[in-house]
């Protein structure tokens, strides 16, 4: 069974979310996605609401509210997401999401076509396109083409031997 690519899923990034909350100073935001063929079964917008906050403005929990089409009809989904603050080495702090399923600290939560809630990449069993063998084959082919061009230009024996060895190594992959 092939894995779904993370690039094909809806993703919420904590860094962009925190920036938007700090800039607008509001208690809720809306995130909108273009509805295309890839995202037909996905919500087109999500409301993100500050759920728990200290008087100093420190956010501890967010709520993701959206509507999802399912077999039973339209389903209202309300997911609390805990935020974790990590101190940085040179001062300040960094926010991370806590995955609702495995409780790992992550920068991004994704919604795959299989799950109804936003989870981390590992819980959604997602992979990146760059990890795919098709992509690696394409990348190796491009490198071999580049080496062929360099072999046409260079005449030094040492450099030529290095390039030939690299080309041979890439052809075996």
* Cα–Cα dist 115/14, whole Å: 20
Q: Which of 113, 128, 143 is the last residue of a domain?
A: 128
Q: Are 40 and 21 in the same domain?
A: yes
Neighbours of 7 (CB within 10 A): 13
Q: Are 110 and 166 in the same domain?
A: no
Of the chain, the percentage scoring pLDDT greater than 70 comes to 75
Q: Are 35 and 79 in the same domain?
A: yes
Range list of H helices, 25-132: none
**pLDDT tens figures, 62-82:** 888 887 766 677 778 888 888
Q: Are 124 and 138 in the same domain?
A: no
Q: What pLDDT, on the 0 to 100 scale, is given for residue 103?
A: 92
Q: Are 83 and 153 in the same domain?
A: no
Q: Are 48 and 111 in the same domain?
A: yes
Instruction: Identify the three-state secondary structure at position 159.
Output: helix
**pLDDT tens figures, 39-62:** 445 556 777 887 766 666 566 788
Angle at 137 between CA 120 and CA 128, to 5 degrees: 10
Q: Are 86 and 154 in the same domain?
A: no
* Cα–Cα dist 109/120, whole Å: 5
Angle at 155 between CA 151 and CA 159, to 5 degrees: 70
Distances (CA, A) of 59 to 55, 116, 138, 154: 10, 24, 44, 59
Q: Nearest 5°: phi and psi at 80?
A: -80, 135
Q: Who wins on pLDDT, 20 or 14?
A: 14
* Cα–Cα dist 9/28, whole Å: 23
Q: What pLDDT, on the 0 to 100 scale, is given for residue 21?
A: 77
Q: What pLDDT, on the 0 to 100 scale, is given for residue 39?
A: 47
How many Cα atoms sit within 13 Å of 97 on the Cβ side?
Answer: 27
Q: Could you tell me the pLDDT band of residue 105, with boundaries at 50, 70 and 90?
A: very high
Average pLDDT value over all residues in the chain: 77
Q: Are 112 and 153 in the same domain?
A: no
Q: Are 137 and 58 in the same domain?
A: no
Indicate if the pLDDT at residue 112 is higher than 90. no
Q: Are 63 and 137 in the same domain?
A: no
Q: Which domain holds residue 140?
A: 132-172
Q: Give me the DSSP letters along 88-154.
A: -TTSSEEEEEE-TTT--EESEEEE-SS-SS-B-TTTTTEE-GGGSHHHHHHHHHHHHHHHHHHHHH-
Q: Are 24 and 108 in the same domain?
A: yes
Number of domains in the chain: 2
Instruction: Identify the three-state secondary structure at position 138.
Output: helix
Q: Are 78 and 32 in the same domain?
A: yes
């Amino acid at each position: 069974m092939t894995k779904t690519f993370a690039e094909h899923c809806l993703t919420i990034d904590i860094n962009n979310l925190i920036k938007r909350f700090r800039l607008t100073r509001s208690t809720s935001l809306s995130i909108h996605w273009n509805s295309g063929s890839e995202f037909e079964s996905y919500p087109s917008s999500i409301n993100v609401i500050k759920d728990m906050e200290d008087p100093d403005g420190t956010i501890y929990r967010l709520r993701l509210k959206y509507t999802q089409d399912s077999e039973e009809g339209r389903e209202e989904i309300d997911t609390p997401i805990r935020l974790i603050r990590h101190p940085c080495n040179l001062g300040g702090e960094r926010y991370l999401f806590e995955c609702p399923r495995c409780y790992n600290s992550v920068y991004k939560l994704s919604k795959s076509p299989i799950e109804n809630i936003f989870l981390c990449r590992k819980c959604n069993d997602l992979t990146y396109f760059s990890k795919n063998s098709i992509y690696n084959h394409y990348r190796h082919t491009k490198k071999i083409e580049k080496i062929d061009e360099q072999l046409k230009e260079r005449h030094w024996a040492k450099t030529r031997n290095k390039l030939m060895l690299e080309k041979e190594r890439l052809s075996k992959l």
